[in-house]
């Protein structure tokens, strides 16, 4: 009897194995599973999985047990749930997330380990909410400080972005959740964002605007990309054949899925041929627009299906799209080994705080105003709306329902306790609201007093304090740091400049803490001894800032972009190209042509070339200790472009506090056949040193650090000649340099 039962069990097992479709067998290579699933799908099922069925989901193939794909906004936290067909809140009670610092703050850490921790943490929260795709990170270049979405991006330098985006993507995808790298490409402004048509030469495209995306695709192996709203060479980015087919899927040999931005698709024919794989959000409400089910009328839905049936389109493009969507599904929703994730965990709170503390930049500290010595201070004046305003809500699609948010004032009170008296004054009223898309902070910041009354109160308490902390800057309202609008100027809003100058006159011990996601004009820098760039830091904003202001943590962030004194220092504005020139395309549609005539000279490349002095340079950031650089050395002074040059510089903590220094390597081509930047970032390392400790920081220089893109030959070229490796603490603070020569290689 036992033998009979055993034989039956073996037969059942073998039979089950034989009946299991290959696409469900996760022991097989993904490509085998994709092809098997594709062969079993009907035309209608293929069409269904490449367009939305709701605001944030695509249907999968229920007949075959292939699950839905669920996306979520999430460059800085997992967005709260909305209704099936509408932007209105679903009013869940369990969808509060950890709000992480802005991606500008992450970039300011200059620490790839922080990027991986950030990605891993936010990916775990998306996984816990059973999302397949998180729509981020954003890595578009800071071309102008007025861009409303700069706070969602990683700065102005393609090398820095490349080094930070790869570990971020790896961290997210370690959870079985796809990173969706956006917005590919040239989405550098929000004004006229649906009609902007950047006019960019190939060299500029490849040297400035593509490297971060290339790193995400090839080194990060991102599973999805999102196109932008803008056009490129007359065609929309989300289905631009040059960007999607020629570059992303062709030159970079990328096998992921291209997802449209929500509402970025306008035409079936070009969406079919231009490389788009999944269409989302083409109508705001999926149940109306004159149809019983608008999703079936998306450009890649019934119009595509009918076009295949009547012979307008072949199935070749469709099968490629379906393969990519299936690949995405097998890597995420059908990965039975992916972790379960976690939401709002202690580890995520700690990660939020650690990233924030490492990203804050100490811009100025004359007279050692900071850190605040609580043994010598009796009264601290805290002034400014941003000391009390919650910032996790607002800003567009990155708006979050945070589990909690510690304001700067509360963080200081928690840290200072009874060691000193803290007195608060509003100083100005900016935006007293705290609501976006149905998520509310619960704060009531209405204040009926006049600007003069608020100003007089602030000056009065400032005069009586030992130290004054002004928390100002921007917020996430329209025309500040906010999607769909750009800023109208670099000036601080709400009369803050005048208030800061009055506070400086009232008390010389003033520190301005600027909370923003991008640079602002600071005409008062010579009157204010201490300035800190604080970003949007999420849940732990107040605790992180308190630890930095009191010296519990030594600042170590550095600027990921140039802090301009005025728009005249910005190539896009100096040359009169922003915000574009209105016109019409060949079909009669309105477009805003935007020539990128500054070319490769973006950010510090422009200020270097024109010998301009910004308020603070790219890569700048101070510490409560000091660092001395020794003389740089190189392993050889001559070689071919295929050789590896090694530059070493000793760095010493010459102060009395433990601290972290970001050592930066720039390369200068001393004589070239083409116009090249004065120098370009090609390496950086963040080192932690105890007082008196010295370490040798080493950089490797290879061909890619020396090359420029030759548009005529469509390849990267390293010319023979003389180069310099410059090592410093910022782009304007070069401490040592060495020269080396590249000779002709065979």
Instruction: For residue 532, give Cα distances in angstroms to 529, 621, 632.
Output: 10, 9, 31
What lies within 8 Å, CB to CB, of 430 at 6+ separation is 385, 386, 389, 475, 477, 493, 494
- Scan for tokens 């976006």, then name that residue: 436
What is the C-alpha separation between 140 and 603, in angstroms, rounded? 13
The total number of residues written for the chain in this structure? 746
| Structure tokens that stand for 642 in this block | 């295929």
What is the C-alpha separation between 582 and 102, in angstroms, rounded? 32
- Strands 178-184 and 224-227, sheet pairing: parallel
Q: C-alpha 209: how far from its chain's center? A: 14
What is the C-alpha separation between 310 and 409, in angstroms, rounded? 66
Helix 346-359 to helix 112-128 angle (10° resolution) is: 150
36, 270 in Cβ contact below 8 A? no
* Three-point CA angle 450, 467, 362, nearest 5°: 100
What lies within 8 Å, CB to CB, of 528 at 6+ separation is 364, 500, 504, 510, 511, 512
What is the C-alpha separation between 133 and 401, in angstroms, rounded? 19
- Strands 361-365 and 530-533, sheet pairing: antiparallel
671, 722 in Cβ contact below 8 A? yes
Strand, coil or helix: 502? helix
Residue 624 exposed, middle or buried by CB count within 10 Å (0-12, 13-18, 19+) = buried
What lies within 8 Å, CB to CB, of 331 at 6+ separation is 30, 173, 176, 178, 223
Helices and strands: H and E segment counts in the chain: 19, 30
- Scan for tokens 């490509």, then name that residue: 31
Q: Which residues are catalytic?
A: 261
490, 564 in Cβ contact below 8 A? yes
Instruction: For 223-254, give one letter per residue: b (16+ CB within 10 A) or e.
Output: bbbbbbbbbbeebbbbbbbbbbbebbbeeeeb
What is the helix (H) or strand (E) element at residue 680, kind and residue range?
Answer: strand 680-689
Residue 136 exposed, middle or buried by CB count within 10 Å (0-12, 13-18, 19+) = buried
């Amino acid at each position: 009897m036992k033998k009979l039962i055993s034989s039956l069990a073996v037969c059942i097992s073998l039979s089950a194995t034989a009946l299991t479709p290959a696409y469900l067998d996760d022991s097989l290579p993904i490509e085998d599973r994709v092809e098997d699933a594709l062969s079993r799908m009907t035309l209608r099922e293929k069409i269904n999985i490449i367009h939305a069925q709701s605001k944030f989901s695509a249907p999968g193939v229920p007949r075959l047990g292939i699950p839905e794909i669920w996306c979520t906004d999430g460059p800085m936290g997992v967005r709260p749930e909305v209704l099936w067909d509408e932007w209105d809140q679903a009013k869940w009670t369990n969808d509060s997330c950890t709000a992480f610092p802005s991606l500008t703050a992450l970039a300011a850490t200059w620490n790839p380990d922080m990027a991986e921790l950030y990605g891993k943490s936010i990916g775990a929260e998306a996984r816990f909410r059973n999302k397949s795709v998180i729509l981020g990170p954003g890595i578009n270049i800071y071309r102008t400080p007025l861009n409303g979405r700069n706070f969602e991006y990683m700065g102005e330098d393609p090398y820095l972005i490349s080094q930070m985006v790869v570990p971020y993507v790896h961290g997210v995808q370690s959870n079985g959740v796809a990173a969706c790298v956006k917005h590919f490409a040239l989405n550098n402004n929000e004004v006229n964002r649906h009609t902007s048509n950047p006019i960019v030469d190939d060299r500029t495209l490849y040297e400035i605007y593509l490297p971060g995306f290339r790193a995400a695709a090839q080194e990060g192996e991102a599973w999805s990309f999102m196109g932008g709203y803008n056009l490129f060479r007359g065609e929309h980015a989300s289905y631009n054949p040059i960007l999607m087919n020629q570059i992303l899927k062709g030159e970079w040999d990328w096998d992921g899925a291209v997802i449209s931005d929500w509402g970025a698709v306008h035409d079936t024919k070009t969406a079919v041929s231009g490389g788009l794989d999944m269409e989302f959000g083409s109508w705001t409400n999926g149940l109306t627009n004159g149809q019983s089910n608008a999703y079936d009328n998306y450009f890649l839905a019934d119009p595509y299906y009918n076009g295949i049936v009547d012979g307008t389109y072949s199935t070749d493009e469709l099968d490629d799209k379906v393969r990519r969507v299936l690949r995405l599904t097998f890597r995420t929703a059908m990965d039975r080994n992916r972790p379960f994730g976690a939401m709002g965990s202690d580890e995520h709170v700690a990660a939020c705080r650690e990233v924030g503390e490492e990203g804050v930049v100490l811009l100025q500290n004359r007279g050692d105003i900071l850190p605040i010595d609580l043994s010598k201070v009796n009264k601290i004046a805290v002034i400014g709306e941003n000391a009390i305003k919650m910032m996790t809500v607002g800003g567009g699609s990155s708006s979050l329902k945070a589990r909690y948010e510690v304001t700067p004032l509360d963080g200081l009170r928690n840290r200072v306790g009874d060691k000193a008296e803290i007195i608060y004054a509003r100083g100005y009223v900016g935006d007293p609201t705290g609501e976006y898309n149905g998520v509310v902070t619960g704060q009531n910041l209405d204040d009926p007093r006049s600007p003069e009354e608020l100003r007089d109160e602030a000056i009065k308490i400032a005069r009586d304090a030992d130290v004054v902390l002004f928390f100002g800057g921007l917020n996430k309202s329209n025309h500040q740091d906010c999607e769909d609008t750009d800023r109208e100027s670099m000036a601080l809003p709400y009369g803050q400049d005048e208030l800061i100058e009055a506070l400086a006159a009232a008390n010389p011990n003033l520190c301005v803490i600027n909370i923003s996601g991008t640079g602002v004009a600071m005409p008062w820098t010579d009157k204010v001894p201490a300035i800190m760039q604080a970003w949007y830091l999420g849940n732990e904003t107040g605790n992180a800032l308190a630890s930095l202001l009191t010296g519990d943590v030594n600042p170590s962030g550095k600027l990921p972009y140039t802090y301009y004194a005025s728009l005249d220092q910005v190539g896009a504005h100096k040359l009169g190209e922003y915000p574009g020139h209105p016109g019409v395309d060949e079909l009669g549609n309105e477009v805003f042509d935007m020539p990128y005539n500054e070319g490769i000279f973006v950010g510090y490349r422009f200020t270097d070339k024109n010998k301009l002095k910004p308020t603070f340079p790219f890569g700048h950031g101070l510490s409560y200790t000091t660092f001395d650089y020794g003389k740089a050395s190189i392993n050889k002074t001559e070689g071919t472009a295929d050789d590896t040059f090694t530059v070493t510089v000793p760095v010493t903590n010459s102060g009395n506090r433990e601290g972290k220094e970001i050592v930066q390597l720039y390369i200068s081509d001393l004589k070239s056949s083409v116009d090249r930047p004065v120098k370009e970032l090609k390496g950086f390392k963040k080192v932690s040193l105890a007082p008196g400790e010295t370490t040798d920081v080493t950089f490797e220089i290879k061909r890619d650090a020396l090359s420029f893109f030759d548009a005529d030959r469509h390849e990267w070229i390293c010319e023979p000649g003389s180069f310099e490796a410059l090592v410093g603490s910022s782009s304007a603070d070069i401490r040592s340099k060495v020269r080396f020569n590249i000779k002709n290689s065979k």
